[in-house]
């Protein structure tokens, strides 16, 4: 099984830290964030990882080249985006890479978590959904992707950054998915219309309108989006109190 790590973001809210370091490589307790992802994937029997780059791409490429030289059972392929394609746009542009796989694990590179990917993948395969979205409870859902689901964990509604009047759930999209690769063809009407595609804004609402089965995987594990200095500091504190959260 392959994984896609989305790592092309500019990291604007983490400046000045990201003036010289791409967001996916910022140190967490002295270890590059990407290293936590790769170690978790390796221990979950993922064999191949695609990473998209844009900002400070040469630094990410050099890191991945050195990682591949270690020959530790996980192979990284880097794809450079001259213009950002969006989270789903990257998947579409690299569909040939995933052509021989039934399922695909997608991870937003600015997540810091101890999530067990093996459990997530098993859940997805058991539920036989087109997409499984990892979710957790948050206090301010208006800054997130809001998910509404039924007693069977099937998603009934998805709204990216809902207004105050639209809030009907405090379950948030965590930015980690397992999808059937057939999803790529199912969203072809969207990808034919636009190059830049986002899972939250475009893909998930579209699939719900088409009555496609999507499920949630609820977690209580820690998951921090290190997109801001405040969140980055929280991640540092967690890592310093848990010397090795890598799985």
Domain architecture of the chain: domains with CATH:
2-241 (3.90.550.10)
The answer to whether 204 touches 158, Cβ cutoff 8 Å, is yes
Query: Which pLDDT score is estimated for 220?
Result: 83
Tracing tokens 């930015």 back to the chain, one arrives at: 175
Query: Which pLDDT score is estimated for 244?
Result: 47
Alpha carbon distance 130, 213 (integer Å)? 6
Query: Which pLDDT score is estimated for 243?
Result: 55
Residue by residue, pLDDT tens for the chain (247 residues) are 999 999 999 988 899 999 999 999 999 999 999 999 999 999 999 999 999 999 999 999 999 999 999 978 899 999 999 999 999 999 999 999 999 999 999 999 999 999 999 999 999 999 999 999 999 999 889 989 999 999 999 999 999 999 999 999 999 999 999 999 999 999 999 888 888 999 999 999 999 999 999 999 999 878 999 989 999 999 999 998 875 444 4
**What pTM was computed for the model?**
0.94
Query: Which pLDDT score is estimated for 195?
Result: 81
DSSP 16-77: TGGGTS-GGG-EETTEEHHHHHHHHHHHTT--EEEEEEBTBHHHHHHHHHHHHHT--S-EEE
């Amino acid at each position: 099984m392959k994984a896609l790590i989305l790592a092309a973001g500019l990291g604007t809210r983490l400046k000045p830290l990201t003036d010289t370091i791409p967001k996916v490589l910022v140190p967490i307790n002295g270890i590059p964030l990407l290293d936590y992802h790769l170690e978790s994937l390796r221990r979950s029997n993922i064999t191949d990882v695609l990473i998209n780059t844009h900002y400070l791409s040469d630094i990410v490429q050099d890191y991945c080249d050195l990682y591949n030289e270690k020959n530790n059972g996980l192979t990284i392929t880097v794809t450079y985006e001259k213009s950002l394609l969006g989270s789903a746009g990257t998947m579409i542009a690299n569909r040939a890479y995933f052509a021989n796989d039934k399922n695909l694990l997608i991870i937003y590179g600015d997540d810091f978590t101890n999530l067990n990917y093996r459990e997530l993948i098993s859940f997805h395969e058991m539920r036989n959904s087109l997409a499984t979205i990892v979710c957790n409870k948050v206090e301010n859902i208006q800054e997130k992707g809001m998910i509404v689901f039924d007693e069977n964990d099937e998603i009934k509604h998805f709204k990216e950054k809902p207004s105050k009047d639209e809030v009907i759930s405090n379950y948030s999209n965590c930015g980690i998915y397992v999808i059937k690769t057939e999803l790529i063809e199912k969203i072809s009407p969207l990808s034919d219309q636009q190059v830049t595609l986002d899972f939250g804004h475009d893909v998930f609402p579209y699939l719900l309108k088409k009555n496609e089965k999507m499920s949630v995987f609820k977690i209580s594990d820690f998951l921090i989006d290190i997109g801001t200095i405040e969140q980055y500091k929280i991640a540092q504190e967690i890592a310093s109190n848990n010397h090795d959260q890598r799985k």
